[in-house]
């Protein structure tokens, strides 16, 4: 559901009782936590029970399972997820009562007001870069507030109100949310067309990032290795912003070199304007995570913090939930889970999994996310999945969309070339399909932005039971 952004956004302390429709999502739960910590009365609802709802309740936030008009009793403001449909009873009730109805972007902006914000944008890597920057700044002595699109192991949460003025915020472009914010500084990880169900064309998607630069006041850190991000440098300089290109290419101002990936660890040397600053040691695997770390480092240095302390903080980052998250090992089978749902993300995570697997077999179970994305990128998804040794593809996660008989998993499966490709069917039974295909020594990687995250734990249960 598309909800208009209000022309005037007051600070969250002026919103009264705020109710969140879809509070179990990463984005809304972060805003709810921040408002609650700011003294706002917060409630929320979600379609199903979850670990996140349990955590929110333990923090003092009332959460309902299921949607009902009565949940809005006492509410002054309603903030809704884009995945919520117009006929949701709580949306209908909010409109009927004339309550303030906001999208999540307006809710986050109300929390950001009065802070010195660094916003992290880009098609891929936003969550990891935001988490890395937050961890690095905390180690450097800052106490930033933060809002991240996933729970982060080292931080214990996805959002927290800090003691200082600094705020590190993941700025999502999927529904244009990042155009609501007015940050002091920004990071752009990459510009790789996605969410065309919202933007319509690649050109419109790219133009949104150009517009995003208009909202930044002081500086921008751009990935030198991504053509779309690097292309923003000239525009940013014209607008008077300090610009840092960070990456592994010769065009980088803050440059990584001597990249080494060893199992689950990654290291590289950093130079700035030709001067060696030192070495970064990460506890996450792969080049794409090294690029994220360079961008976070660039933002931290530009904000005035010392290299050595920032690097120590980067070394403490152990990943975010659903970003190459290790779920466990049973019977010689290691299981990882990741959020990758775009071809570029699939390529990066499979490459990282290869580094972890070594000579072992890599089995990938993938769930396409959205009919619209599968229609556009289904073939490219299959091509990238071909780098695995065995591929299982589950049914499309519909989220806010309706099924289309012309768009099925065959678009993905038929594009897989080389390894065996299995139609896994409904996600509820995918573990039963995957389990008998596994052998001791395998690494299983579950990929997708939907509910495939439940498959890995169920496979581990089957392995433990010795089925």
> If we measure between CA atoms, which residue out of 125, 302, 342, 138 comes closest to residue 220?
302
Q: How far is CA 44 from CA 21, 84, 355, in A?
A: 6, 13, 41
d(Cα 248, Cα 245) in Å, to the nearest integer?
Answer: 10
Active-site residue flag, 126: yes
Q: Which of these is catalytic: 90, 93, 151, 170?
A: 170
Do residues 134 and 146 lie in contact, with contact meaning Cβ atoms separated by under 8 Å?
yes
Enclosing H/E stretch for 185? strand 185-188
Which positions ≥6 away from 30 have C-beta within 8 Å? 108, 147, 148, 149, 158, 159
Active-site residue flag, 170: yes
Q: Which of these is catalytic: 82, 123, 127, 374?
A: 127
Q: Which residues pair with 247 in a beta bridge?
A: 255
Lookup result for tokens 């014209």:
238
Do residues 188 and 216 lie in contact, with contact meaning Cβ atoms separated by under 8 Å?
no
Q: Which of these is catalytic: 126, 128, 408, 446?
A: 126
Would you mind telling me the total number of residues written for the chain in this entry? 467
Terminal C-alpha separation, the chain: 43
d(Cα 194, Cα 377) in Å, to the nearest integer?
Answer: 9
Residues noted as catalytic:
126-127, 170
């Amino acid at each position: 559901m598309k909800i208009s952004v209000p022309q005037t956004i007051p600070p969250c302390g002026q919103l009264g009782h705020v109710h969140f429709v879809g509070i179990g999502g990463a984005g809304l739960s972060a805003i709810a936590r921040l408002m609650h910590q700011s003294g706002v009365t917060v409630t929320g609802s979600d379609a199903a029970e979850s670990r996140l709802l349990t955590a929110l309740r333990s923090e003092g936030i009332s959460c309902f399972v299921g949607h009902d008009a009565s949940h809005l009793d006492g509410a002054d403001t309603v903030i809704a997820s884009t995945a919520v449909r117009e006929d949701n009873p709580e949306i209908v009730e909010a409109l009927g009562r004339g309550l303030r109805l906001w999208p999540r972007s307006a809710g986050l902006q109300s929390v950001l007001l009065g802070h010195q914000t660094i916003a992290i944008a880009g098609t891929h890597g936003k969550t990891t870069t935001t988490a890395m920057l937050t961890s690095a700044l905390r180690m450097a002595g800052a106490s930033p507030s933060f809002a991240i699109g996933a729970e982060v192991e080292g931080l214990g949460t996805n959002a927290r109100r800090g003691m200082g003025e600094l705020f590190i915020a993941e700025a999502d472009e999927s529904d244009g949310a990042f155009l609501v914010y007015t940050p002091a500084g920004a990071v752009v990880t990459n510009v790789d067309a996605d969410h065309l169900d919202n933007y319509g064309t690649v050109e419109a998607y790219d133009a949104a990032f150009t517009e995003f630069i208009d909202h930044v006041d002081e500086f921008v850190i751009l990935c030198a290795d991504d053509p779309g991000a690097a292309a923003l440098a000239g525009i940013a300089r014209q607008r008077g912003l300090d610009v840092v290109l960070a990456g592994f290419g010769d065009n980088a101002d803050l440059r990584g070199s001597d990249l080494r990936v060893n199992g689950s660890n990654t290291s590289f040397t950093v130079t700035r304007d030709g001067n060696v600053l030192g070495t970064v040691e990460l506890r996450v695997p792969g080049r794409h995570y090294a690029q994220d770390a360079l961008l976070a480092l660039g933002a931290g240095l530009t904000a005035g913090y010392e290299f050595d302390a920032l690097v120590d903080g980067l070394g403490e980052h152990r990943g975010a939930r659903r970003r190459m998250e290790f779920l466990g090992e049973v019977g010689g089978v290691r299981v990882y889970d990741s959020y990758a749902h775009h071809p570029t993300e699939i390529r990066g995570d499979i490459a990282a999994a290869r580094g972890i697997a070594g000579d072992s077999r890599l089995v990938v179970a993938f769930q396409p996310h959205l009919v619209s994305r599968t229609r556009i990128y289904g073939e490219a998804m299959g091509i990238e999945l071909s780098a695995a040794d065995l591929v299982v593809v589950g049914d499309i996660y519909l989220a806010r969309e309706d099924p289309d008989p012309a768009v099925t998993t065959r678009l993905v499966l038929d594009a897989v070339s080389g390894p065996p490709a299995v139609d896994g069917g409904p996600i509820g039974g995918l573990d039963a399909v995957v389990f008998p295909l596994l052998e001791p020594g395998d690494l299983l990687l579950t990929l997708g932005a939907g509910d495939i995250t439940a498959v890995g734990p169920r496979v581990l249960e089957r392995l433990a039971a010795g089925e």
